[in-house]
A and B are shown apart, each in its own frame.
Chain A
Amino acid sequence: KAGVTQTPRYLIKTRGQQVTLSCSPISGHRSVSWYQQTPGQGLQFLFEYFSETQRNKGNFPGRFSGRQFSNSRSEMNVSTLELGDSALYLCASSIGQGLEDTQYFGPGTRLTVL
């Protein structure tokens, strides 16, 4: 079974731009979660989607948003990029809803904001 895939793997943007990251979960998984990883703040939970609905949300500004499609694929959008948004963005999928479920992570998208 194919793992979680994320596209693109690397991205360079400039301040003020917006960006969309994509995540395809493992087949049969209905939950997708997003995380931000930076050297300074470490790993932080962004949000979780299940059945096309955001179920849980971390402590991030409204510039960070996401959605999930009927095939469980998910996109994450960051508007008005700031230098501090430079990070590795990780997507994880799980079978059921809830962060207690075992999550399988993708390789991440490395975003650099110049």
Chain B
Amino acid sequence: AQSVTQLGSHVSVSEGALVLLRCNYSSSVPPYLFWYVQYPNQGLQLLLKYTSAATLVKGINGFEAEFKKSETSFHLTKPSAHMSDAAEYFCAVSGNNDMRFGAGTRLTVKP
């Protein structure tokens, strides 16, 4: 069985500050890992995806995530937050014909 834990349901940063959203996963098979962003009243948009090709994955809008097998983590970072980054972020793991999402982290960006 697979699972995802996102640490921190709410994260608040100042504009221009580092964004760090935490995700830990559990999987019995080599996982595929995803980060999605959801804006109000919209569906999910893929930010980035890990497929074992490289441990550091670069995504859209300046986001990146690093896969650390020893820590079973896949944290999302962005060097400098922008007001438009305010949204809800979901980490997800797929494998074994199943897909599991974390509970989500709501990111607030203060001016």
Give the B-binding residues of A (Cβ under 8 A): 4, 33, 42-45, 55-56, 58, 90, 92, 98-100, 102-108
Instruction: List B residues at the A interface (Cβ < 8 Å).
Output: 32, 36, 41-46, 49, 51, 90, 92, 94-95, 97-104
The contact of A42 among B41, B94, B98, B103, by CB within 8 Å, is B103
B49: chain A residues at CB < 8 Å are 102
Q: Give 11 A-B pairs besides A90-B43, A98-B97, A105-B36 with Cβ atoms closer than 8 angstroms.
A: A4-B43, A42-B102, A43-B90, A44-B101, A45-B98, A56-B98, A92-B44, A99-B99, A104-B46, A107-B43, A108-B43
Q: Closest Cβ of chain A: how far from B109's Cβ, in Å?
A: 22
Select which of B41, B98, B102 is within 8 A of A58 by beta carbon: B98
Instruction: Tell me the dominant secondary structure on chain B's binding face.
Output: strand
* CB-based nearest B residue for A55: B97
How far is A47 from B30 in the complex, measured between Cα atoms in Å? 21
Q: Given A43-B101, A100-B95, A107 and B46 touching (CB < 8 A)? A: no
| B43 touching A42, Cβ below 8 Å | no
23 chain-A/chain-B pairs, Cβ below 8 angstroms: A33-B99, A42-B102, A42-B104, A43-B92, A43-B101, A43-B104, A44-B101, A55-B97, A56-B98, A58-B98, A92-B43, A98-B97, A99-B98, A100-B32, A100-B94, A100-B95, A102-B49, A104-B46, A105-B43, A105-B45, A107-B42, A107-B43, A108-B42
Enumerate chain B residues within 8 angstroms of A4, measured Cβ to Cβ. Answer: 43
